[in-house]
Amino acid sequence: MPVDPTITGFTIRDLRFPTSLDAIGSDPMNTSGENAHGYIVYHTDTDLQGIGWSFSNGQGNEVLCAGIKCLAPRFVGRKLSSLTSNFAQTHRNFLGGQTRFMSPERGVMQLASNAILNAIWDLWAKVEGKPLWKLVADFTPEQLISVIDFRYITDELTPEQALAMLKDKEKTKQERMDLALKNKAVPGYNTSVGWLGLSDAQVEAGLKKAVDAGFRHFKLKAGLGLETDRKRLGMVRKVAGESAVLMVDVNQIWDVDEAIDYMPKLADLNLWFIEEPTSPDDILGHARIRKALKPHGIGVATGEHVNNRVMFKQLLQAEAIDAVQLDALRLSGINEILSVCLLAAKFGVPVVPHSGGTGMPELCNHISHFDFVAISGKQSILEYTDHCHEYFTDPAEFSGGHFHAPTAPGYSCRITDEAFAKFECPQGSFWQSEKGQLLLNDPWRGCAAEQTSPMK
């Protein structure tokens, strides 16, 4: 019989990887980003720990850590079973209280909620001795429904409708489980080849390496001019071949009409979608862009900056997107992610999680696996980036064109002691170095027009 640990305390840490120095994550909006984690460890009266974190882009990560510190005491003294036995209610209660007034289910407090709920799910999966994806995939339809708070989405999806959907998928679930256990469930696409700050030579070398590793889908950063974009995309076609699937991402830099004017000029390159063409909050703008680009064969994707299930519901209702790019570290934990996966399945839109930052492939790998096995029943793809996997005790693995299904119990959240020694802020060895101090003390880090610290 599984143990039922009591949470006895917590530790919060500020971890920042100096990814900008290698142009990792560079795009039209974010020229210099330090992939950063607000990291929490829940200690228990057993040997098990619940580990979770959420993500920021460097400066301001201390604000995320403060948000986590504000909310973390709520679960101290509680047995795990008291939280998971009615997890939907726990989720609703946790997003309530006085802190909700500041930013209801959005912003920094939503990120903080995400980190804490990730830690609870990590602990639950460890108690059950399963990787998180399999914990969820092994749920009965009734158990899966029981962890979701359907408030605000019942106008589109009720618990009864969701239950019927899951029961229908249950009939063929074992076939998909077998594919997952053979590491054939989740194909990947490569983003590391397309960072904006890379030279053409670096892009070409990265493409050749990615093709050899089995990638057939590639995403490039774009939006800095037709000549530049066509040159880069043409390079992908040359190296990867005409059968390669290409996507582009402009990270919110355009107004709606700019996107509608620009993208048809790339239509001959046979692109699957344009990602984040405009403000992530502009649902009707995305709908206009999608309608305008559909005759050109170009889809629209967004989601990495979508804060909650309500916005995803409206994006789907407005027929604004061709791919749901939910972020494992922006929604309020697996509870809300499951509701978004169900909404996407109802509308027949694939879930293509955003996982371009440090540690995101580790977590999103779980999401893509349980979505395929238990919810959508349809194979999609998952973003792969090749940086910083060495700092995780259970890193994402990829071969033969597919992600490997995680095998270690938990949510793959644990980061190595070596990473903290180097990159915990401000005491890590890198941040104490001369270059680290230059980055930390530049208040405009990441704003190209004002930044004074070195790019590399």
- The catalytic residue positions are 221, 354
Q: How far is 167 from 206, CA to CA, in rounded Å?
A: 43
Identify the H or E element spanning 412: none
Query: Tokens representing 236?
Result: 């992908």
Nearest to 275 by CA among 257, 255, 252: 252
Q: How far is 15 from 37, CA to CA, in rounded Å?
A: 5
Q: Write the single-letter amino acid at 233.
A: L
- Which backbone phi and psi does 262 adopt, to 5 degrees? -80, -50
Query: Tokens representing 86?
Result: 């009615």
Beta bridge partners of 190: 218, 384
Q: For the chain, state the CA radius of gyration.
A: 21
**Contact assessment for residue 264 and residue 296, using Cβ atoms and an 8 Å cutoff:** yes
Q: How far is 149 from 293, CA to CA, in rounded Å?
A: 35
**Contact assessment for residue 38 and residue 63, using Cβ atoms and an 8 Å cutoff:** no
Whether the bond into 426 is cis, omega within 30 of 0:
yes
Q: How far is 352 from 328, CA to CA, in rounded Å?
A: 11
Strand ranges inside 137-258, DSSP E: 186-190, 217-221, 245-249
Residues in CB range of 214: below 8 A, 6 or more apart: 398, 399, 400, 401, 402
